[in-house]
Amino acid sequence: MGEFVRLEVEDGIGTIRLDRPKMNALNVQVQEEIRDAALEAGSREDVKAVIVYGGERVFAAGADIKEMQAMSYTDMVDRSGPLSSSISAVARIPKPVIAAITGYALGGGCELALACDFRVVADDAKLGQPEILLGIIPGAGGTQRLSRLVGSSRAKEIIFSGRFVDAQEALAIGLADRVVPAADVYATAREWAGTYVGAASYAVRAAKEAIDRGLEVDLETGLEIERMLFASLFATKDREIGMTSFVEQGPGKARFEGR
């Protein structure tokens, strides 16, 4: 467990909890603790789904600019790889990952949210990539994940301007998946995550990998990735359970074992 980031596990749901006062600024220490929490969440058998949560006030307001201001070009050459890979560690968690967003998700905080599979957003929250206002660009996936999510034109407009996106616009353009009152954000994320706890976890894992890896390649290669993952699931106990249950009892009654 890190000083500012911890993994809390309850009822099959792992919550990666950011807790660095006041605004969960993502300094080097927080970035590395996010990586550690993501790797732990991905490897634990008792974690079936993951929530990334910054607390009731703020998700994460961005990088620690005071720390970054002192960095030279060569400092950032050395640091940019670990920065990007710490956020990618969240994207690579082989389980459903939901960002529970309150307050602000800006800069690195928005990039952290983009690394999740889904985003539950408070109705008064603000999201954005304001790096351009500092004379830089997003450096932990913002230019790539945002454009894949909302399209290149919208991503360019948001990134070029550095403006904040409110919850309703985020929902309209696909940056948010659900918008709820701020007080309900974490509970909504838990309810959603709970739907995956009893799922065929290796099938969910394969589906996530097929989609994510498929988006990185051409269609034919993506279809081959899908084919191989599809075939591989015939080696799992859950495939046997699911098909037997369907034949004998009809759909939706299987009790999967996660193996």
Domain that holds residue 242: 201-249
Query: Would you call 257 helix, strand, or coil by DSSP?
Result: coil
What CATH number does the domain containing 221 carry?
1.10.12.10
Contact 86, 31 (CB under 8 A): yes
Question: What tokens appear for 253 in the block?
Answer: 């009654």
Strands 164-166 and 104-106: unpaired
206 plus 81 within the same structural domain: no
Q: Catalytic residue at 111?
A: yes
Q: Which two tokens stand for residue 195?
A: 């739907």
Active site residue 131: yes
pTM of the model: 0.94
Distance CA(103)–CA(57), nearest Å, equals 5
Task: Establish if 142 belongs to a structural domain.
Answer: yes
State the pLDDT confidence band at 65, using cuts at 50, 70 and 90. Answer: confident
Same domain, 147 and 162: yes
pLDDT at residue 64, as a whole number: 82
Which of 52-66, 120-134, 171-185, 201-215 comes out lowest in average pLDDT?
52-66
Which residue of the set 10, 56, 131, 224 is catalytic? Answer: 131
111, 216, 226, 257: the catalytic one is 111
Question: Which CATH number goes with the domain that contains 143?
Answer: 3.90.226.10
Order of strands, edge to edge, in the sheet holding 178-180? Answer: 5-10, 13-18, 49-53, 97-101, 118-122, 178-180
pLDDT tens by residue, 152-164? 999 999 999 999 9
**pLDDT of 157:** 98
Question: pLDDT tens-digit profile of 222-243?
Answer: 999 999 999 999 999 999 999 9
Q: H/E element holding 29?
A: helix 28-43
Question: Amino acid identity of 93?
Answer: I
Closest CA to 158 of 119, 130, 182: 130
**Cα–Cα distances in angstroms (integers) from residue 56 to residues 102, 186, 196, in the given order:** 6, 8, 24
Residues 6+ apart with CB under 8 A from 185: 100, 101, 102, 120, 121, 122
